[in-house]
Amino acid sequence: MTHTSLSSWLSYIESQHPSEIELGLERGSKVLARLNLSRPKFKVITVAGTNGKGSTCAMLTQYLCTQNYSVGTYTSPHFLDFNERIALNNISCDDDLICRAFEAIEAARENISLTYFEFSTLAALWIFDQSKLDYWVLEVGLGGRLDSVNMIDTDVAVVTSISLDHIDWLGDNLDVIAREKTGIARKDKLLISGVVNPPSSIATTALDVGAHLRQKGIDFSFTSNQSEWAWAGNGVQFDNLPIPSLPLQNAATVIAVLVFMELAPAQEDLATLFRTAQLTGRFQQVASSPDVYIDVAHNPEAAVELARRVSHFSRQPVAVCGMLKDKDIDGVMTHLAQSFSDWFCADLAGPRGARADELVEHIIQCSPSLSSKVKAFGSVHDAFGAALTKAKEEQRSVIVFGSFVTVSNYLAFSQLKSDL
């Protein structure tokens, strides 16, 4: 079937499988075998974890590119354009290349039904194969063991963090979730764990598989103060590193990947990386007067990090929050309810979107004193408009957070405004 545009292809692949999510490797692996793809010149690096996957992939990609390696990076979800998911040397692929990839997948799959994510993953791998790259950096979409990214045997498996999320798919205890995420590891290959207080199943899985496990707190460590930080491991020490805008624990994991891959990163190159690395939607300042930040924080672990960051503000900011109803809303609000002076909650559209009044109930349950400071709105746009007025009146910052969907909605209407 021929489609004349990327939007047409995307509409088509969305309709090709009855389920949005169906974990498993059998369908995609059959198509992958038919494509007969090559591997990168050096290594495949696959990144799993509850939080920190995106920032870890971003820092690894940026470092490798600055060392003059060619790199293909596959991430998800996207904010505004599908093209964000597939990048060559940190530049999103154009429509034409992605369409050609979809054509190749469509021809190879014949009667095999693929999910949207399987189509996307295979397209990324096809593009990387065609581009003859040095490294592939692949972000797991959901879990690890049964995620379509795991169709490719990795050379370096990375697990950034473990906490309760996607319980319906991954299980309801940390040991089970860790086992699923560590399922990307391979025999005789590196497994780098950046997990704080790691469940025992990480080491057990590594032993069962025969992977070479390197763990934060055992094989490498880091220390920090407000102005700088240091990393040590494998007989290497880096001192006086600048504090990155991305989460420090992920920066520490990135150094571990580079060191244990024996890439011998230089102090000055790491310093440059951490001074400059940024990622859309990860505590990113997008406006000033008043300051506006966007953050995709949507689970308790990410909420702890967001609370830590806003605790350094001279005045409490105001929150614009929209969440999905299958997330741990109560857990998020427990950590964040008292971090903001006012809350402007938004409905999120779609079957998974939580209603604003549900968020209001959770916030007031966590902090009854906020009852007059929490309001519900029908959209992120309306919630942000009211929050912006409040922030200007009281000279406060605005934090837009709670979901990739929330941040995407903000970016869409802010881009539209800038285009007018």
In the chain, what are the domains? Answer: 6-276 (3.40.1190.10), 284-419 (3.90.190.20)
The average pLDDT across 381-390 equals: 98
In tens, the pLDDT along 9-38 reads 999 998 876 555 666 789 999 999 999 999
Cα dihedral across residues 65, 67, 71, 77: positive or negative: negative
Beta strands in 112-235 (DSSP E): 135-139, 156-159, 190-193, 212-215, 220-224, 228-233
Question: Count of residues for the chain?
Answer: 420
Other CB atoms within 10 Å distance of the CB of residue 88: 19
In tens, the pLDDT along 210-252 reads 999 999 999 999 999 989 999 999 999 999 999 999 999 999 9
pLDDT given at position 140: 96
State the Cα–Cα distance between residues 13 and 85, nearest whole angstrom: 15
State the Cα–Cα distance between residues 167 and 11, nearest whole angstrom: 29
Q: Cα Rg for the chain, rounded, in angstroms?
A: 21
In tens, the pLDDT along 244-287 reads 999 999 999 999 999 999 999 999 999 999 999 999 999 999 99
Look up residue 368 and give its DSSP letter: G
In tens, the pLDDT along 323-379 reads 999 888 999 999 999 999 999 999 999 888 999 999 999 999 999 999 999 999 999
Structure tokens belonging to residue 121: 């993953």
Average pLDDT, the chain: 93
Is the pLDDT assigned to residue 169 strictly greater than 50?
Answer: no
Q: Which residue has the tokens 């089970």?
A: 176
> Under a CB-based contact definition with an 8 Å cutoff, are residues 191 and 214 in contact?
yes
Helix count and strand count (H, E) for the chain: 15, 17
- Which pLDDT band, with edges at 50, 70 and 90, does 420 fall under? very low
> How far out from the chain centre does Cα 12 lie?
25
State the Cα–Cα distance between residues 348 and 350, nearest whole angstrom: 7
Is the pLDDT assigned to residue 166 strictly greater than 80?
Answer: no
pLDDT given at position 415: 78
In tens, the pLDDT along 53-108 reads 999 999 999 999 999 999 999 999 999 999 999 999 999 999 999 999 999 999 99
Residue 287 CB partners (closer than 8 Å, separation 6+): 414
pLDDT given at position 15: 85
